[in-house]
Amino acid sequence: NGGDGCVIARVLKQRGVDAKVFSIGDIKRASADTKENITSFQAVGGQICSLEQQSLENVVADFKIEQVGLIIDAIFGTGFRGE
C-alpha cells in the first residue's frame, strides 16, 4: 500500500537514491500508518507529489521516464476491495 511505498522510498533516499513519491489520493484521508510513513519520508528530504493538485499531463510532461531506474507500484494494499 501507500505506506509501504513511502517506507521503500525513505530507505532508498537514505541510501542516496533520488526517490520520489507520487500520491493519487488525498493524503489527509490516509491511514495513521501511511501518514506516519509519509512524515518519515519527508523527514529525510523526500517530496510527495500529489496528482490531485496537478494534472497527470503536467506530471508526465515533467517526468523523464528514460532517467528512471525503478518504479514501484504501491497503490493497492491487501485490503483493497474494488470499491
Per residue of the chain (83 residues), what is the pLDDT tens digit? 788 999 999 999 999 998 988 888 788 888 899 899 999 999 999 998 887 666 667 766 666 777 778 888 888 766 667 66
Report the relative pairing of strands 21-23 and 48-50 from DSSP bridges. Answer: parallel
pLDDT for 2? 82
Q: Residue-wise over 14-49: b if at least 16 C-beta within 10 A, else e? A: eeeeebebbbeeeeeebeeebbebbebbeeeebeee
Model's pTM, two decimal places?
0.78
Q: What is the pLDDT of residue 14?
A: 97
Cell of 10: 525513505
DSSP class per residue in 35-47: HHHHHHHHHTT--
User: What distance in Å separates the CA atoms of residue 19 and residue 41, rounded to the nearest whole number?
Assistant: 10
